[in-house]
Chain A
Amino acid sequence: MLTKLSMENILNLIKKRIFYLSYKSQEGHVPSALSILDILWILYDQVLNLKLIKNKSLNREYFILSKGHGCLSLYAILEKKKFFKKNYLDNFCSKKSIFGGHPDSRKIPGVECSSGSLGHGFPFAVGIAYSNKVNKIKSRIYALIGDQEANEGSIWESFLLASSLKLNNLTCIIDNNKSSKSSIYMSKMSKKLEAFDWEAVEVDGHNHKQIKKALMFRGKNKPLVIIANTIKGKGGFFLENDNSWHHKALSHENYNKLLKKLVLK
């Protein structure tokens, strides 16, 4: 187990990596990646059995990033966890790269589902969970959606489907970074999901203890939803809670500003 300080350093290094990749490629959805960074880190560092995932074992756990545009965090964590060699990611979004602005399951080791168009990854995860249930494979399926992604009808079809099928091997994490405030705000998600017969827990999506506790929670006969209250752009200083940065490239000046503010201890 890492100490709090070293974990903070690792996360800052990952942030630094994300800033670099975005600045170099002039691509990426940096604030959307930062809002899920703590969740993905805990998932990959403390919850998932990475050996089984790397071996594509039939009884592996699955993680599906349904909000594919947050992929910079996933790429950086997969790199940290040695799913591929470090230099592979350096050409993020370049012509010959396997790493695009949205993850491609046919190219990137560790990516289970090609996502990007919203509302696809979550029902895909429900299918995996159902298959594992009928095939009596006791591994857990995790899917992460954005709060704005919950505007999509397919998400609600799948909420309905998963509880109807009593998929207690499924955890849906909602990155509640309030992106939906710019359109149809998805408020009171716990109540909505409980009405859909899901087990719902709400956490601070940047509090590692709360995240881990929720990820390890096992309900009895229902799927679990974790509403993770997050800050869009968390740890990106001036990127935080500013929607104009949603898909904006970092200038040289802004990139340097971010590096100066990121202090490694």
Chain B
Amino acid sequence: MRKQFVKTLEGLFLKEKKLFLLLGDIGVFGFRNIFRKYPDRCLNIGVMEQSSISFAAGLSKTNMIPVYHTIAPFMVERAYEQLKIDFGYQKLRGNFVSVGGSYDYTALGPTHHCPADINLISNIPNFQVIVPGTSSEFNQLFKQTYQNYFPKYFRLSSTENSESYNVEFGKANQVQKGKKATVIICGPTLNFVKSSLKNLDVNILYYTTVIPFDIKILEKNIKNSEKKIIIIEPFYSGALLNELSILQNKYPLLISSVSVPRKFINGYGFKKNLDDNFFNTKKILKLIKIILDK
């Protein structure tokens, strides 16, 4: 997805003169063409995340469109108050594109992990939260939204789904229809379960926009099926549950979630090992069958 991020921006820089790229000393080589062609509209601002975000808000105040890119924990957790006050509270336009969400940098340890990013950003009013499942989906969603007058958080992932969808910002995709339950799948977790769910009589809703959450399509699905929801999300549980709470007041819902466990990950190794553990297809299927039998 990072390669696509570079490609997308290179294309947009040609026509959008208000775009301004800020890098937290990562991806500088990748963006070398933008640095060469548009030296006045990009800056490797280094590792001063708090000031970088306030600085980006200053750019936005003058009608520029800042795009800030760094590693998720340093952007979201270290500079959370800057995102909250300078962008959320002031409702300024800005694009925050992270890498390393959850445990993409598995071997670098918990200092570089960030499974809390989606929950944290979702707690800032006015922020829009986007979790593409593929490079193509990132490209579509970024192009649809980068100019809008909201702050936006894009979570780039190191792994992608094998199949891309035509996605629309703020809308979920209906991947499958069924009667026994509704499975909500977010971003790059679709790959773990899609083929295994083919034989089950369940709805599958694929979300690439977390906030604003497409509640309409979900309500339509649960109206026509059993009131059981299973969420599969590649981060800590919470943000989606919060969105679902509106429906909980209207329907007797049974909700279960497969997400990243709330613990510091012990050990290093490869992302795939953790995916195989936390999003093990057999385990997920077993859980879904338990829910279906209830």
A-to-B contact residues, CB < 8 Å: 58, 105-106, 112-114, 116-117, 119-132, 134-135, 137, 153-154, 157-158, 160-161
Contacts and interface: CB of A to CB of B under 8 A. Distances in A.
Contact of B62 (A122, A131, A161): A131
Which residue of A128, A129, A131, A158 has the most chain B CB atoms within 10 A of its CB atom?
Answer: A131
B62 A154 contact: no
B102 to A, nearest CB: 27
A124 B62 contact: no
Contacts, number: 85
B85 interface: yes
The 6 closest A-B pairs by CB, nearest first: A127-B58, A123-B54, A157-B51, A157-B48, A127-B55, A131-B62
A259 to B, nearest CB: 36
Given A112-B61, A126-B55, A131-B59, A117 B81 contact: yes
Nearest to B45: A161
B51 A135 contact: no
A120 B55 contact: no
Interface stretch (B86-94, B139-147, B229-237, B268-276): B86-94
B34 interface: no
Interface range on chain B (Cβ under 8 Å from partner): 20 to 34
B58 A105 contact: no
Interface string B269-288: 00000000000000000000
A161 B50 contact: no
Interface of B: 20, 40-41, 43, 45, 48, 50-51, 54-64, 81-82, 85-86, 89-91
B90 A158 contact: no
15 contacts: A121-B54, A122-B54, A124-B55, A124-B58, A125-B58, A126-B55, A127-B60, A130-B55, A130-B59, A131-B62, A131-B64, A134-B40, A154-B82, A157-B51, A161-B51
Nearest to A137: B62
B79 to A, nearest CB: 9
B40 to A, nearest CB: 4
